[in-house]
Structure 1
Amino acid sequence: MNLLIIYTHPNHKSLCYSFLENVLKGAEENSNINHVHVLDLYEEQFDPILRFNEKKRRRDMHRDPNLETYRLQLLWADKIIFIYPIWWGRPPAMLLGFIDQMFASNFAYKDIGKILPEGLLKGKSVICISTMKGPKHYPLFLLNNAHKVLMKKALFNYVGIKKVKFIEFGNMEGANKGQNKKLQLVYQHVKKLVI
């Protein structure tokens, strides 16, 4: 299995980075995982801003040479793990900008004249690992799970990815919030992953 980890947090001393380290540790000990690649969007200085004009059209985004490396990484991966914080009920703008550009028509999906398009990323699976300052159930009760709906239904299912798992941790700021137990949980989950 080829594992692509898309890490989206600007601070390498953050709790999210500790989750990345535990994902890597679990992947190293998993005999089902052949290769691992980490895409750190902030370190990569990925430009999340969409730009369109007469020369650069949205319909041609799937051929943008500046995004070719990322397209190849997504095609290469059997499983994709996203690691990010939840800010204001949604992933960081950096990750949303990546999604806007990478999950483009004629790369991630193809319009076929029906209600829904044909997803072109079938066979892949996704895990979203996220942290938030507020209570774990805050997004469910006050935001109707907008984050999960956005990621699972409006994005992954649309492009053909049906296996999607969310591992969300709330109340994560401050000392004694059970971080070590949660880091261990992520490590164990990745250590036992199958495609």
Structure 2
Amino acid sequence: MKNICIVFDHPYTVDACHNEPHNRSFSAALVTEAQKSYEKAGVTVDVIDLHKDGFDPVMHKEDLIAWRKKKVIDSLVADYQERLLKADEIVFIFPIWWEAMPAMTKGFFDKVIAKGIIYDEPQQGKIFVNKLVNLKKVKLVTVMATPHLLYRWVFGNPVTKIVFRGTFRKMGFHKVKWLNYANMTKLSNEERTKKLRIFGNKIIK
């Protein structure tokens, strides 16, 4: 059976998928909708909720020493790595803050996407070697207040450069897809609900 791993980053956690004042997140609603759509299609879904797990995104001295030795001292990082290695598809969902991902997602890339485990260093003249042998596709789902065209043409799509070009394509993996929900603060609840319904069909493709 196909295995989807969703990596989610928002301080309110996935529990904020409902329209409750001061505890609501469109990003969380996207996770819930994605999970429902995938499961309806007969797919196994594994959700990594970074804030609920209490993930520490900081690369401490001891973490870096272990990273250089291709070892892991954080049990949660080791658990995440095992789950990524089993995944046929990885979906990252988070809001855009200051034109990039929040700290926990950046820390996830720093600590979890580790050499000797998720990838191997290149030999002469070659790119990094991807060790995610089951992986078929990587999807990035983002939510932002910035208009999409402004983010793309003025800021230059920094998040896709980091996630796609700077990470997965560097490992030789090119089957990537970006779904961006921009200018969200301007939308009514009805408009957001409509986007969620459409998203449910988009994410499984």
1:144 Cα deviation from its structure 2 partner: 1.3
Q: Quick one: distance in 1 between partners of 2:78 and 2:4? A: 18
Q: Deviations over 1:27-84 (max 9, x none)?
A: 12113x1x21111000001000001259934313543352211111001111111110
Aligned to 1:181: 194
SS at match of 1:129: strand
Q: Quick one: distance in 1 between partners of 2:37 and 2:27? A: 15
Q: Note the aligned Cα RMSD (angstroms).
A: 2.0
Checking the alignment, whether the CA contact within 8 Å between 1:129 and 1:167 is kept in structure 2 is yes
SS at match of 1:182: helix
Larger displacement relative to structure 2 (56-65 or 45-54) = 56-65
1:114 matches 2:124: yes
SS at match of 2:188: coil
Q: Deviations over 1:97-155 (max 9, x none)?
A: 01100111111221232232222224511111110011012221111111111110111
Aligned to 1:152: 164
1:181 Cα deviation from its structure 2 partner: 2.2
Q: Quick one: distance in 1 between partners of 2:153 and 2:64? A: 45
For these two proteins, the number of residue pairs brought into alignment is 190
Q: Quick one: distance in 2 between partners of 1:8 and 1:55? A: 23
Checking the alignment, whether the CA contact within 8 Å between 2:143 and 2:180 is kept in structure 1 is yes
* 1:1-195 mapped onto 2 (5 Å cutoff): 1-11=2-12, 12=16, 13-31=24-42, 33=43, 35-53=44-62, 56-66=65-75, 67-115=77-125, 116-124=127-135, 125-176=137-188, 178-190=191-203, 192-193=204-205
**Higher relative contact order by CA 8 Å / sep ≥ 6: 1 or 2?**
1
Larger displacement relative to structure 2 (105-114 or 52-61) = 52-61
Q: Quick one: distance in 1 between partners of 2:170 and 2:73? A: 21
| Structure holding more helix per residue | 2
